[in-house]
Structure 1
């Protein structure tokens, strides 16, 4: 039982969330794992259809093996968004290898082993997101960092949910029969759909929209780091790069991700995304005052990719929408241009 619902349902959610999270990410390793997952997911879906729709029994030994490959791919894809190198990636070949051996020699152990694989990787992925919050996804662009973080936690939660619920179903069916299993499976499907709907349509509790914390007294070293960051952002107008990430900014300054993030947090009370967006909004304000460009053109020119993010950040910094800012700026300029009456 575990070899079918686990990879199919968890894989569907993973494909949707990871695809959205990796837009604009320029990390070859993560893309490679993601594309491998999509190919495997397609083959798994075809295999499930042929096995249960057309009775192709020859596929039965292969489905548990392909299922066991999905959790490592999910973990490696998200792990690639961190700034830390991955030691011994070949170790992640061991779970599929163990399942392959079990399928051939110890068929009764296939389901327990798959359960262990899914639960183990679910906890590993969740643990990855515990330290440093969204900024752990340092290789993701600043605008995708928070969605990638949420997607990683959602994927970990769903893998654990389906592993535990499928194991419970297997035990229940063994003790009391399988009459109530279809209802339980339907409830699991509804839960998965609900999770996807919440992820895509509920208002995102983005860190960038949160109020800034009071700045702490920065040390001389942190002040020097902040100055280097500001110089790097102005160099070739790096702050306008839509794909700018925390890791890329750290590499430009020659510093570690932790040092850059900590210095910005302590010296300004802002997170890295807010700090960079403050500079983008300042440039947007200048263009709104001095140019005839449309708001959309200005949004793209200063480094934002979506109107929702641009409007939210602009309102956070200025207290008004870009259109309202332009109207007030034009009114102020018109007022100052009128000759004084005697």
Structure 2
């Protein structure tokens, strides 16, 4: 996919989320929106290059446009991992400079890299040299006691000089000591104004904002404020119908519309293939629990899929039973 098309898709994206945005999740989300840019869970460069875990790169062609997020801090290793991702057909390769987990810190990558902008620049330069697809960065506004108003412009200058043209900024600091990854998603205050100011300071950078965004109306407000894109995380996962069913129309001006029942119908052959390959129903349906959130039947839908999805004989008929419960409540 041409870089210009991926950039257009990046007006709205679903954030990379560990244990959530796997291939099953992305297939579901693609049925709900044909325009939104989707991201993989973070895949570490060492796992690909040293561990031979190339199977982690598999995805369904239906997922396009789709981006691979990498974690790492060794330029040569990241370059090789980026090359592998491009070979697999990803439309973008993204470097994680935002994850605050202890495991990530111990590998000297993720949010801790905000303290090493020169190293990040070396990494993305090597990645760009190794692959033809666009290389982007997802970062925080700073970490620990850093002053974001000073640190973030310096960081953006380094990566822009290394050739990065698109960046996603999570509008919170990351506290590497004292807060868990979950707390880092909620406790540090959001500073959306700083992200908007960065667009004014770096007009040639394509800048998306991430963090605490829960609705398409909120996303449209950021686009109207001059930002190039919006990345939504937990809301897109927990209430996907609220975010994705209207995204093509409200964000991209596309008349494409899809009904939630049509999405479920679209998952049937996918689930059947997954089961035929030895997979379990719950591996797919765990991502579907929030489809009816805020709608009649939501509780029964979740209960049937949660309680019966793990049973040895669970199959498409289990999905049908959950849907029957929704229709009874409608």
Q: Same fold (TM over 0.5)?
A: no
Report the structure, 1 or 2, having the larger helix content.
1
Structure having the higher Rg: 1
Report the structure, 1 or 2, having the larger strand content.
2
